[in-house]
Amino acid sequence: MGNDMRRAWLMAQNKCSPGQYRRMVKEKAEAAALSGLTFLSSGGRASARSLRAPWHAGARADAKRLRKK
């Protein structure tokens, strides 16, 4: 099961802790900021891959953490 699907399933079952929700918000805010900086520093010529990289890295780290549970 993909990380987003796992988190959605946990939310649907009301099994996400307040800490998990805080981590999700922080992860998304940091990824958005990094993608924005990448875009701006490239003069608007950043590749889609480089813009997705912060989102992907956070999702991979979270998936690894959730698999341990």
> Given this model, what pLDDT does residue 1 score?
55
Residues 6+ positions from 69 with CB-CB distance below 8 Å:
none
> Given this model, what pLDDT does residue 69 score?
63
* Nearest-angstrom CA–CA distance, 53 and 59: 10
CA trace torsion 61, 21, 49, 39 (10° rounding): -130
Domain boundaries, the chain: 3-67
Residue 12: both structure tokens together: 């649907």
Q: pLDDT tens for residues 3-61?
A: 667 777 877 888 888 888 888 889 889 999 999 999 999 999 999 999 999 988 877 88
> Given this model, what pLDDT does residue 15 score?
82
In this model, does residue 62 exceed pLDDT 80?
no
